[in-house]
């Protein structure tokens, strides 16, 4: 975050892209996210809105951002940073949001203005689902402020140091918390599903936001690593073409390899399988980067491959004909 909050003016102030979300931060922290959200929503209050949809065990806010019309008839639901060490994706998402905000009235996709697209298809984003975990991955155990949490954390099994941490501050892998699955038996750096299904405040926040959406047309879950996309569909094959249509669209942007998990019984309690079986809607798990944690130098390439992702999805799922650009 590079622009002082004191320099924010009115909603009509023109901000150049890159004025808020820093691309130089090699570790995108919760503090960075919070500052960027504050500045962007103040600068573009009619374009980007925020809400706090929960609070973590270590008292960090769980944010939901809405790009475009909050009352739009359709939504695209986006999550990032569910795994702690994948914080580069939150940074990339915030870059994308700033890009759209700063080009909202002038930018377009396939000759349709962003303002028209996002008036009809709202992008609902949780850019950092796991802020406690991100704090651990970027700052170690000392980043956890609660004494009891920190004491328990230090006793948990970890692999490769805290920089490799996936779980939240309770040692629960949030991408295992949607089903009871016994991979790891106790809290640790990754793979522990938690004491019960939906036990974690972060998971509850995701489900809470989903519950407020009226018509989610597609789900995007941003993870790392591998430059691949996992996708799947409900067992009835009638959904396959709809799901593949989303993945094919994303592939045209990022060029990632696609992996169809539809026939797999490998359901570890992840959000992907929960969405496929509960909502029966198009879903893609986008895995950015080549190693983990993703080196910061890869941010530029990851951003360039996904900058138009929200506009492309809004265009594909726009059910109202907007006014074309000149």
- Res 70: pLDDT: 97
* Average pLDDT over the chain, rounded to an integer: 90
Residue bearing the bigger pLDDT, 12 or 154: 154
Residue positions counted in the chain = 326
Residue bearing the bigger pLDDT, 160 or 313: 313
Residue found under tokens 């402020």: 145
Percent of the chain with pLDDT over 90: 79
Structure tokens at 31: 């503090």
pLDDT digits (tens, 9 = 90+) for 3-60: 333 333 333 333 345 689 988 889 999 999 999 999 999 999 999 999 999 999 999 9
Question: Looking at the predicted structure, is the pLDDT value of residue 148 above 60?
Answer: yes
Delineate the domains of the chain, giving CATH numbers in brackets.
45-313 (3.40.630.10)
pLDDT digits (tens, 9 = 90+) for 68-104: 999 999 999 999 999 999 999 999 999 999 999 999 9
Q: Grade residue 281 by pLDDT with cuts at 50, 70 and 90.
A: confident
Going by their DSSP bridges, the two strands 216-224 and 74-80 should be labelled as parallel
- For residue 30, give the nearest of 61, 67, 66, 65 by alpha carbon: 61
């Amino acid at each position: 975050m590079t622009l002082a909050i004191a320099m924010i003016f009115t909603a009509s102030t023109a901000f150049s892209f890159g004025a808020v979300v820093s691309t130089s931060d090699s570790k995108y922290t919760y503090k960075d996210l919070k500052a960027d959200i504050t500045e962007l929503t103040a600068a573009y209050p009619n374009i980007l809105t925020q809400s706090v949809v929960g609070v973590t065990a270590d008292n960090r806010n769980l944010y939901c951002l809405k790009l475009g019309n909050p009352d739009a008839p359709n939504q695209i639901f986006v999550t990032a940073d569910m795994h702690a060490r994948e914080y580069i994706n939150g940074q990339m998402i915030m870059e994308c949001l700033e890009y759209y905000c700063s080009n909202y009235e002038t930018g377009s996709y396939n000759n349709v203005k962003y303002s028209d697209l996002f008036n009809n298809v709202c992008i609902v984003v949780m850019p950092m689902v796991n802020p406690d975990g991100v704090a651990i991955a970027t700052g170690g155990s000392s980043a956890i402020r609660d004494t009891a949490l920190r004491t328990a954390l230090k006793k948990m099994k970890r692999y490769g140091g805290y920089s490799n941490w996936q779980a939240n501050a309770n040692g629960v892998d949030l991408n295992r918390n949607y089903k009871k699955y016994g991979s790891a038996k106790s809290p640790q750096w990754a793979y522990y599903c938690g004491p019960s299904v939906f036990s974690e405040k972060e998971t509850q926040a995701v489900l809470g936001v989903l519950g407020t959406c009226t018509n989610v047309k597609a789900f995007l879950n941003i993870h790392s690593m591998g430059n691949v996309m996992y996708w799947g569909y409900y067992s009835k094959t009638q959904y396959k073409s709809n799901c593949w249509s989303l993945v094919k669209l994303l592939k045209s942007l990022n060029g990632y390899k696609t992996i169809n998990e539809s026939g797999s019984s490998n359901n570890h309690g992840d959000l992907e399988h929960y969405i496929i079986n509960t909502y029966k809607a198009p879903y893609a798990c986008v895995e950015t980067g080549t190693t983990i944690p993703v080196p910061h130098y890869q941010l530029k390439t990851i951003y360039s491959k996904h900058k138009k992702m929200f506009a492309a999805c809004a265009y594909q799922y726009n059910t109202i004909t907007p006014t074309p650009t000149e």
